[in-house]
């Protein structure tokens, strides 16, 4: 009996030893995987370069892209180097005919091109930050090219040959409109706008049936 008891004890101790060794192996494996994950995270962090936030790249002014000499000269006089610097531009009475190349100045907020000889506004289509725009005394027949200017709040486009209000319903932020001395046959499209101030006299259009409910002051 004593021999059997000793044999059983020996077997039990041997089994306990094997179990302990097996558990230690699993622990080492988990630790190794954890270290691997930690190393991967550290490497990713090292690859992030400080001081270089995305979208902060400056674009040099491309004067050669501006085909109109008068417009090019006006921009040259601002002495800017990067397109992002130009937020206010006033080029009245400059003899400007073409706006090609102006589309590079995407940070423009205020633009005054009054008293020139401009006929086409397609270059302004992507200048979506503009909120104040003056185009009075030019040779424009429409302004539908401005429909993407969702920040536009004030538009002066009097003394042209405007004969249509097409696209004005898309200018949802437009509050002030100066469109007097044009060739508009109708003002009915204004009813769907959010205009507060309107100057539209000296057009062949009759008095419209309705005006925007937001209207505070107008002259027809």
pLDDT, one tens digit per residue, over 160-170 is 999 999 999 99
Question: Does 128 map to a domain?
Answer: yes
pLDDT one-digit tens code per residue, 193-219: 999 999 999 999 999 999 999 999 999
Total-model pTM: 0.74
Give a yes or no: residue 194 inside a domain: yes
Q: Which domain holds residue 98?
A: 60-137
Last residue of a domain, one of 111, 137, 163: 137
With respect to residue 102, please indicate whether it lies within any of the assigned structural domains: yes
Task: Please give the pLDDT value at position 12.
Answer: 52
Q: What pLDDT does 2 receive? A: 47
Burial of 165 (0-12, 13-18, 19+ CB in 10 A): buried
Q: What is the pLDDT of residue 7?
A: 52
Residue 160 counted as domain residue? yes
The reported pLDDT for the residue numbered 200 is 98
Indicate if 155 and 198 belong to the same structural domain.
yes
Q: Residue 36's pLDDT band (boundaries 50, 70, 90)? A: very low
Has residue 180 been placed in a domain?
yes
pLDDT of residue 132: 98
Residue in 68, 131, 78 with CA at minimum distance from that of residue 102: 68
Mean pLDDT, rounded, for 178-196: 97
| CATH number assigned to the domain comprising residue 167 | 3.80.10.10
- Distance CA(197)–CA(92), nearest Å, equals 24
- Indicate whether 152 and 118 sit together in one domain: no
* pLDDT of 125 higher than 80: yes
Last residue of a domain, one of 105, 137, 169: 137
Residues 150 and 184 both lie in one domain: yes
Domain contains 2:
no
131 and 192 together in one domain? no
- Number of structural domains (the chain) is 2
* DSSP secondary structure, the chain, as one string: -HHHHHHHHHHHHHHHHHHHHHHHHHHHHHHHHHHHHHHHHHHHHHTS-TT--TT----B--GGG---HHHHHHHHTTT-SBGGG--EEE-TTS-----TTGGG-TT--EEE--SS-----GGGTT-TT--EEE--SS--S--GGGTT-TT--EEE--SS-----TTGGG-TT--EEE--SS--S--GGGGGS--SEEE--SSSPPPPS---TT--EEE-
Q: What is the pLDDT of residue 31?
A: 36
Q: Burial letters for 81-108: b for 16+ Cβ neighbours within 10 Å, e otherwise?
A: eebeebeebebeebebbbbebbbbbeeb
170 shares a domain with 120: no
Report, as an integer, the average pLDDT of 99-121. 98
Together in a domain, 81 and 155: no
Query: Range with the lowest mean pLDDT among 43-57, 68-82, 105-119?
Result: 43-57
pLDDT higher than threshold 60 for residue 98: yes
Q: Which residue has the higher pLDDT, 94 or 37?
A: 94
Both 201 and 147 in a single domain?
A: yes
| pLDDT at residue 156 tops 70 | yes
Do both 124 and 167 map to the same domain?
A: no
Q: Which of 137, 154, 169 lies at the terminal end of a domain, its last residue?
A: 137
Q: Domain for residue 88, yes or no?
A: yes
Of 100, 176, 105, the C-alpha closest to 136 is 176
For residue 38, pLDDT over 90 is answered with no
């Amino acid at each position: 009996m004593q021999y059997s008891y000793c044999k059983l004890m020996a077997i039990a101790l041997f089994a306990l030893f094997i179990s302990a060794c097996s558990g230690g192996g699993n622990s080492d494996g988990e630790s190794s995987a954890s270290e691997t994950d930690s190393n991967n995270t550290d490497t990713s962090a090292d690859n992030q370069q400080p001081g270089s936030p995305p979208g902060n790249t400056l674009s040099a002014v491309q004067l050669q892209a501006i085909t109109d000499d008068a417009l090019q000269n006006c921009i040259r006089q601002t002495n800017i180097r990067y397109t992002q610097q130009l937020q206010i531009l006033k080029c009245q009475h400059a003899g400007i005919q073409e706006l090609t190349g102006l589309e590079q100045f995407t940070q423009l907020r205020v633009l005054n091109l009054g008293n020139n000889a401009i006929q086409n506004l397609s270059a302004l289509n992507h200048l979506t930050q503009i909120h104040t725009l003056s185009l009075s005394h030019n040779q424009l027949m429409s302004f539908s090219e401005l429909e993407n200017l969702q920040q536009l709040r004030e538009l002066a486009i009097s003394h042209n040959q405007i004969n249509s209000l097409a696209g004005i319903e898309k200018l949802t932020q437009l509050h002030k409109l100066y469109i007097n001395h044009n060739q508009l046959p109708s003002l009915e499209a204004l009813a769907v706008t959010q205009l507060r101030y309107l100057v539209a006299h000296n057009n062949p259009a009759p008095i419209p049936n309705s005006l925007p409910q937001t209207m505070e002051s107008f002259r027809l």
